[in-house]
Structure 1
Amino acid sequence: MLANLSDIDLKMLRIFCSIVEAGGFTAAQVPLNTSLPRLSVTVRDLETRLGYTLCRRGKGGFQLTEQGAQVYAAAQELYADMERFRQRLVLLNAHHPETLRVGSLDNLITLEPAPLPYALSKLREAIPDTRLVLQVLTAEGLEQAVINGDLDLAIGVFDHQLSGLHYLELFGEEQNLYCGRGHPVFERADSTLGDADIFTAQYVDRGLVVENRKPFTFPFNSVSSAASTEAVASLVASGHFIGYLPTHYADVLVARGVLRPIWPARFAYHATCHCITRQGSARSASMEIFIDALLDAAALAS
């Protein structure tokens, strides 16, 4: 039975919550950057500390026990209380600048009207002494950082919605399929391309597209993966791969003759960018201003 709550207990509790939000131990390995045996040991140690079983894992899949579900819910309340406590401490010192920790996917800056710089500018105008911390991470990294409290909010394209996070729709981002100079289809007109030309070509899978989007209906020959727009563009520009890139990002490379879009009428689609925050967390003044500015930028883009 848990007699007191130590830092180690809090760490184990956060790991347990991350496993729940990922949907199981296996899925949690990548965002937590931890091995499956280590995750199992952590949860077993937490169960020992608490005195009851939190989840069941086996052939039937990952399932929370009744106690596990209640512990997860209580943990969300705890994290919200901790955030409110932190905000109160900051407000006690009127001269202490507020810190806003923002996360984003890479290469949003070329999207008009540049929502991230726009929001940063509006916040700076409203609260000049706000200390800004900006990180660029993968979609999974952004979600995990917000859940853990390492980021206050994040902007990105997410292929699912995790419990414990609030997803605010911002704007659409057009994505299209591209190849690079030297690729077998680079010089060919779209009208001459058949399914064999596209679906036998080596495809770079970024893993950011939503499951109901068009690419998931096409049998691409995925032979490589990349975690960022820059990485996808580099592989495609080599002339050996095809892959999806945001149109606003690829336009400059197309203008230089480095890339060409492949059959936009068939393969282009729109992804939706969201702003994510942790459910139940108190919003600071800087968060409110920043999110309002993001919505204003989204309205200008529509």
Structure 2
Amino acid sequence: MLNRLQESDIKLLRVFYAVASCNGFTAAEPVLRMQRPNISAAIKKLEERLDLILCHRGRGGFQITKEGEVVFQETKRIFNAFDNFVFNLKNLHDDYSGHVTLVLMAGLPLSVHLAVSRAVRSTMKKFDDIHVNIQNRLYNEVEHVAQSGECHLVLSTYDMVKPESVIFHSTGTSFAGRMYCAPSHPLAKYKDSLPANINIEDYPAIGISGLSSSNYIGEDERMSIQTFSDSFDVCMSAIMTGEYVGLLPDYMAREQGVALGLVPVGGGALFNFEHELFVMNGKNTRLNPVLRYLIKELCHFVTESQKR
């Protein structure tokens, strides 16, 4: 069992990280520039070091184990920290090269993802030898990853009290939303407004962990939260069972909900909310010219994407 991480373990973890990322030994060969027998031997040695089975390989194909998935996620955190350390160290010498880690909140609209692509491309053209790692995190994780230094920048909506340890750069963009239900839900038949005798607290609802505005619909009215999800995508899946109502941003209804028949409760005029989109970074993150330029480009392209 591994008690202390050694340099040889780092090399083995890099092999496993590549194999897990590529979802197989063969696909990892050109990435690692290693032949399959050597990759297999490295994985076997790592499994012996950790006293764990990390993946199954054979006629059934490559399959990562539950323990392997945990090791993969922790390995990702380690290598992100390494990349960030090297990038920040180069900053001290005004050497603006290396890897930048950008985290996106899960469930952002396609227009924002396209804006991110354009901002990243612009930054990579502006600065030589810059590579950008783009990752997803759940809403209830974005504040932590910004504070902890696991990444350089975060792009996310935010509706809570802003902590002093995080700097927020406004993109000038907000996303509106409202309460939705499935076409099979009892409230779906009220297309224009809800009758006065309807009490929304009588209907089971789903909330989102860490997102306060998804759980409350006003000072006097609260949803009857019976269960929680960890993202808007999962929340929509629960809503479509017909058992729950819930709050969703309108872009989800437009991009995915139309095909599902998602229905705005009371015609959509009730229970509205609005979330502002920010680029965030921890106060301990040194905003060198690369990061400042990327922030500027993210704000610019996100704003442009919402004008179309």
Q: Which TM-score band applies after superposition, normalised by the shorter structure?
A: 0.5 to 0.7
- The equivalent of 2:107 in structure 1 is 107
SS at 2:286 equivalent: coil
Picking from 188, 191, 197, the partner of 1:189 is: 191
Whole-Å separation in 2 of the counterparts to 1:195 and 1:245: 24
Write out per-residue CA displacement over residues 61-87 of structure 1, whole angstroms, 9 at most, x where no aligned residue.
xxxxxxxxxxxxxxxxxxxxxx89953
SS at 2:132 equivalent: strand
Equivalent AA in structure 2 for residue 299 of structure 1: T
CA gap of 1:106–1:193, structure 2 versus 1, over 3 A, is farther
Equivalent AA in structure 1 for residue 146 of structure 2: V
CA gap of 1:133–1:193, structure 2 versus 1, over 3 A, is farther
Whole-Å separation in 1 of the counterparts to 2:214 and 2:178: 16
1:118-197 equivalence runs, <5 A: 118-127=118-127, 129-158=129-158, 159-170=160-171, 171-194=173-196, 196-197=198-199
Pair 1:297 & 2:301 matched: yes
SS at 1:157 equivalent: strand
SS at 2:270 equivalent: helix
Pair 1:241 & 2:244 matched: yes
Count of residue correspondences: 219
* RMSD (Å) for aligned C-alpha atoms: 3.0
- The equivalent of 2:264 in structure 1 is 261
SS at 1:144 equivalent: helix
Whole-Å separation in 2 of the counterparts to 1:235 and 1:181: 13
- The equivalent of 1:274 in structure 2 is 278
CA contact (8 A) 2:207 2:214 kept: no
- The equivalent of 1:198 in structure 2 is 200
Instruction: Structure 1: state its 5+ residue gaps.
Output: 1-82
CA gap of 1:148–1:188, structure 2 versus 1, over 3 A, is same
Whole-Å separation in 2 of the counterparts to 1:118 and 1:184: 43
Whole-Å separation in 1 of the counterparts to 2:127 and 2:119: 12
CA gap of 1:89–1:117, structure 2 versus 1, over 3 A, is closer
Write out per-residue CA displacement over residues 160-198 of structure 1, whole angstroms, 9 at most, x where no aligned residue.
211211112222011111101211122332334446352
CA gap of 1:121–1:229, structure 2 versus 1, over 3 A, is farther
> 1:90: how far off?
5.8
Whole-Å separation in 1 of the counterparts to 2:139 and 2:280: 11
1:23-34 equivalence runs, <5 A: none
Pair 1:226 & 2:229 matched: yes
Whole-Å separation in 2 of the counterparts to 1:184 and 1:128: 58
Equivalent AA in structure 1 for residue 242 of structure 2: G
Q: TM-score, normalised by structure 1?
A: 0.63
SS at 1:283 equivalent: coil
> 1:113: how far off?
8.4
CA gap of 1:253–1:113, structure 2 versus 1, over 3 A, is closer
Whole-Å separation in 2 of the counterparts to 1:222 and 1:190: 24
SS at 2:269 equivalent: helix
Q: TM-score, normalised by structure 2?
A: 0.62
Whole-Å separation in 2 of the counterparts to 1:240 and 1:183: 7
CA gap of 1:210–1:118, structure 2 versus 1, over 3 A, is farther
